[in-house]
Structure 1
Amino acid sequence: MSTSAPATDAQLERWQRFRAGRNEALAAEHGWLTLTSFQWLESEPSAVELVPGLWSTDGTTATLTAGATDGLTLVETGEPVDGTISATLQDEESLMWVQYGGSDGTQVVVELAMRADKYAIRTRDDSSPVLTEFDGVPTYEFDPAWVLEGRFEAYPEPVDVPIATANPLVDGVHRSVGEIVFRVPGVPHEVRLHAEAEKLGALNVTFHDETNGNTTDDWRKVVVPRPRPDGSVVLDFNRAINYPSAFTPYGTCPMPVKGNSIDVFVEAGEKLP
């Protein structure tokens, strides 16, 4: 889309710093690149794939029974699991619960999660090739034409909008705090996108565009810094990033609100991994 002046050295440096931090965060131990399974728990104590012990839930509490020889320890304390332990979560909560494997017994962390009011576990294995072979997310070149001015129109109260997620069995909710309104060259009308609140007054925008499923994942997100006092905002689509579900089939990441689409090719930000 480049129609503006070339990027300044300061812009490029800030963007390169952002990219370096992003790749480093993705490559964290037991991070999103280490997911190797997502499994719902049954009501009867049952074996699961990849993890020792017998796992179950009564709908309210998750329970694990294992012996000392299974080699499971609690992530928080390092204590061996020898007998039956249980944990209780609220919907959308997660707990890095137990670990096992590798030379120090911490290669794989088992995350207990509650999604769609049901208990599941996810394994996070630091030997996953998705992590060990990771050398950064491919991106478009920085393009200053994709740094756009807009305005934030806050709702009087947040509105909960039902959405789908990357897992067809898990429904989600998008807590819209307002809409970001802006113009994109090549689009005859103003674009309006629902936004969620982020930390420190920033806004998170999850969106579709015409590159999806071609050069980019099926949807992406961009964090917009806190609006100025007059409501104006800067959307830098060079900082559009993938959700974890772009890297792993085991994510339950939120899809955009219906209509959160930009009807052009947003050739900026992260590409398909």
Structure 2
Amino acid sequence: MSAFTEAWHRWHEEKDAALADPHGFLAVTALHWLTDRPQRLPGAPGTWSTGPDGPVVVLDPDDDLVLDGVRLTGRHAFGPIPERGGVTAVSGDTHVEVARRGGHDIVRPRHPDHPLRVQFHGTPAYAPDPRWVLAGRYRAFNAPRPTTVGAAVEGLEHVYDAPGEISFTLDGREHTLTAFEGRAPGSLQVLFTDATAGVTTYGAVRSLAVAPPDADGAVVLDLNRATNLPCAYTDLATCPLPPAENRLPVAVEAGERIPYERQPARV
């Protein structure tokens, strides 16, 4: 096995391992949208609502909910949660994610016994091929551009600041993609679809992490590492969709394919 292929397999195994962590995204059992009306939520102790103080839970004396090592009692206000932020409380074997997505406060219980996680056996993908490692050029905007995109949840929108765009050539044609900030400092993230969407790859969105550009703006696009977002596996995700300009007209036969969980059942 070549070093290139070995590195790809190691990366893919680590990615799937994180996804299938006992309290990873495959362990999410429900997606609850909080309102100002107190409500009991399956999978999470207490009565939940939201308002000016952010998410609030009112716990009964026998409810068990621990946050940052401290057992919560009575009424607890989590405080306003920033967009795409969140905290995690613990109730027995359940992790209770309290977060904000698309301007809404949500609660997502995560339990390691959830069938989606227990039955997970990896993500199918195209075989890695060096031909899909492309040179690109990053161009920073004069100022980050607020960019509104859709979401996997109908009616929900996300707003991201796009710091710039990436241009590259594929099959003799130049393409330009809007880039968002990545997780690591200086890195970038590209959300896209291509002509394989809904055929061999997940139809709504794929994601590609891009290392920080060099001093001249050069970047490397390793499309072998195009990944599915959580919405490819479960409807309990609020993943962003690509901006219109990131819908490529060419087939990118590289990276992760439609998860087994979304493929038609065999008869």
Same fold? TM cut 0.5: yes
Which residue is equivalent to 1:238?
224
> Is 1:251 equivalent to 2:237 in the alignment?
yes
Residue 39 of structure 2 aligns to a residue whose secondary structure is coil
> Is 1:192 equivalent to 2:176 in the alignment?
yes
> Is 1:86 equivalent to 2:77 in the alignment?
yes
Which residue is equivalent to 1:42?
35
Whether the aligned pair in 2 keeps the contact of 1:45 and 1:54 (CA below 8 Å) is yes
Whether the aligned pair in 2 keeps the contact of 1:211 and 1:267 (CA below 8 Å) is yes
Q: Percent identity?
A: 34
> Is 1:77 equivalent to 2:69 in the alignment?
yes
Which residue is equivalent to 2:97?
111
CA deviation string 1:169-211 (max 9, x = no partner): 32101321111111111xx531000011221322111111011
My pick for the range that moved more, 107-116 or 239-248, is: 107-116
CA deviation string 1:68-110 (max 9, x = no partner): 323x22142152x43221111223221113x32xxxx2x2111
Which residue is equivalent to 1:260?
246
> Is 1:216 equivalent to 2:201 in the alignment?
yes
Note the 1:48-67 alignment, pairs <5 A.
Answer: 48-67=41-60
The CA RMSD over aligned residues, in Å, is: 1.7
- The amino acid that maps onto 1:19 is H
Across the two proteins, how many residue pairs are aligned to each other?
256
Residue 160 of structure 2 aligns to a residue whose secondary structure is strand
CA distance in 1, matches of 2:52, 2:185: 35
Which residue is equivalent to 1:182?
168
> Is 1:25 equivalent to 2:35 in the alignment?
no
Residues 154 and 42 (structure 1), Cα distance of their counterparts in 2 relative to 1, 3 Å cut: closer
Deviation at residue 41 of structure 1 after TM alignment: 1.6
Which residue is equivalent to 2:213?
227
Which residue is equivalent to 2:154?
168
Whether the aligned pair in 1 keeps the contact of 2:190 and 2:208 (CA below 8 Å) is yes
- The amino acid that maps onto 2:66 is L
Structure 1 unaligned regions, length at least 5: 1-7
Residues 118 and 60 (structure 1), Cα distance of their counterparts in 2 relative to 1, 3 Å cut: farther
- The amino acid that maps onto 2:199 is N
Q: Find 2:88's aligned residue among 96, 116, 130.
A: 96
Residue 163 of structure 1 aligns to a residue whose secondary structure is strand
Residue 109 of structure 1 aligns to a residue whose secondary structure is strand
Deviation at residue 159 of structure 1 after TM alignment: 0.8
CA distance in 1, matches of 2:66, 2:188: 36
| TM-score, normalised with respect to structure 2 | 0.90
CA distance in 2, matches of 1:200, 1:42: 35
Deviation at residue 55 of structure 1 after TM alignment: 1.2
Residue 145 of structure 1 aligns to a residue whose secondary structure is helix
Following TM superposition, the consecutive aligned residue runs of length 4 or more in structure 1 with deviations greater than 4 angstroms are none
- The amino acid that maps onto 1:206 is L
CA distance in 2, matches of 1:48, 1:214: 37
Structure 2 unaligned regions, length at least 5: 260-267
| TM-score, normalised with respect to structure 1 | 0.88
Which residue is equivalent to 1:151?
137
Deviation at residue 212 of structure 1 after TM alignment: 0.9
CA distance in 1, matches of 2:116, 2:74: 34
Whether the aligned pair in 2 keeps the contact of 1:220 and 1:240 (CA below 8 Å) is yes
- The amino acid that maps onto 1:196 is F
Residues 118 and 200 (structure 1), Cα distance of their counterparts in 2 relative to 1, 3 Å cut: closer
- The amino acid that maps onto 1:169 is G
Whether the aligned pair in 2 keeps the contact of 1:59 and 1:119 (CA below 8 Å) is no
Residue 8 of structure 2 aligns to a residue whose secondary structure is helix
